[in-house]
Amino acid sequence: MNDTIELLLRHRSIRAFTDAEVPEAHIHLAVQAGQAASTSSAVQAYSLVQVTRPEERRALVPLTGGQEKVATAPAFFVVCGDARRHRLICARAGAPYDARLEGFLLAVVDATLFAQNLVIAFESMGYGACYVGGLRNQLAEVDAILEFPAGVYPLYGLCVGIPAEAPIPRPRLPVSAVFSTDRVPEEVDVLADVDRYDEGYRAYMRERLGKDRAWSPSMARKFSEPRRVEVAAFFREKGADLT
């Protein structure tokens, strides 16, 4: 155990913040830490957009599923996969940009590694953060507000500020459910881990929300029907080749 591991294990999503601002110097420092994350072949296919205009942040609330923190958090960002600079480089060199699905995957992976480093850096400075996947609920409408150019793929939002709450950590799957040696576990072992996790998750939900709710039934509901089916079309319109 060391300070870094203790910081990582303390992570929880923060959805309520004080009014204290996040200084620009702290944001730049966190971005630098984000940039230190691994990136395939130095591609660095990501960008971070801070949304500061109150009217735009307010307009994003209904587009993210009514998440008021998008408007009220001291800082709100959009994490993007960014292939635009590579497109511009290819165009300047007189070469086609033809990265296809691999190029899009690189952008998503790079952006997410960057974002995780970014959040850890903020947390190390005493801030809390919450990812906002609801940004993908109505991407075309989000794009109409924030005007992302071709090659820039908004992936999720990020609220940051000094925590005004101290929620208990949400439990995670057992280590055996996500780590194995040489081969992935047999199906019976996967489901046994799920059953063990359900018990702990049910206890967490009772303490946190007063609800007797296990994890696996919610996953069954979540993945039993398509969601955000228009996302692929949006990214294609932004220039992503998903073939």
Give residue 4's pLDDT band: very low, low, confident or very high (50, 70, 90): very high
Tell whether 10 and 30 lie within a shared domain: yes
Question: CA 155, CA 79: separation in Å to the nearest integer?
Answer: 6
pLDDT tens across 175-217, in order?
999 999 999 999 999 999 999 999 999 999 999 999 999 999 9
Cβ–Cβ under 8 Å, residues 145 and 55: no
Cβ–Cβ under 8 Å, residues 109 and 102: no
- Tell whether 75 is covered by a domain: yes
Judged by DSSP in three states, 16 sits in: coil
Q: Percentage of the chain surpassing pLDDT 70?
A: 100
- Token couple for 79: 């994490």
Tell whether 186 and 70 lie within a shared domain: no
Tell me the one-letter amino acid at 28: H
Tell whether 30 and 150 lie within a shared domain: yes
Tell whether 110 and 26 lie within a shared domain: yes
Total-model pTM: 0.96
Tell whether 178 and 154 lie within a shared domain: no
- Tell whether 61 is covered by a domain: yes
- Token couple for 216: 């696996």
Tell whether 151 and 200 lie within a shared domain: no
Predicted pLDDT at 72? 98
* Residue 110 belongs to domain with CATH number: 3.40.109.10
Tell whether 101 and 147 lie within a shared domain: yes
Tell whether 96 and 131 lie within a shared domain: yes
Tell whether 64 and 102 lie within a shared domain: yes
Question: CA 17, CA 162: separation in Å to the nearest integer?
Answer: 5
Q: Could you list the residue range(s) of the whole structural domain that residue 173 is in?
A: 169-212
Predicted pLDDT at 31? 98
Question: What is the number of structural domains in the chain?
Answer: 2
| 241 CB-near residues (< 8 Å, 6+ apart) | 98, 99, 100, 101, 103, 104
- Tell whether 222 is covered by a domain: no
pLDDT tens across 138-180, in order?
999 999 999 999 999 999 999 999 999 999 999 999 999 999 9
Angle between helices 54-63 and 139-146 (to 10 degrees): 170
Tell whether 150 and 34 lie within a shared domain: yes
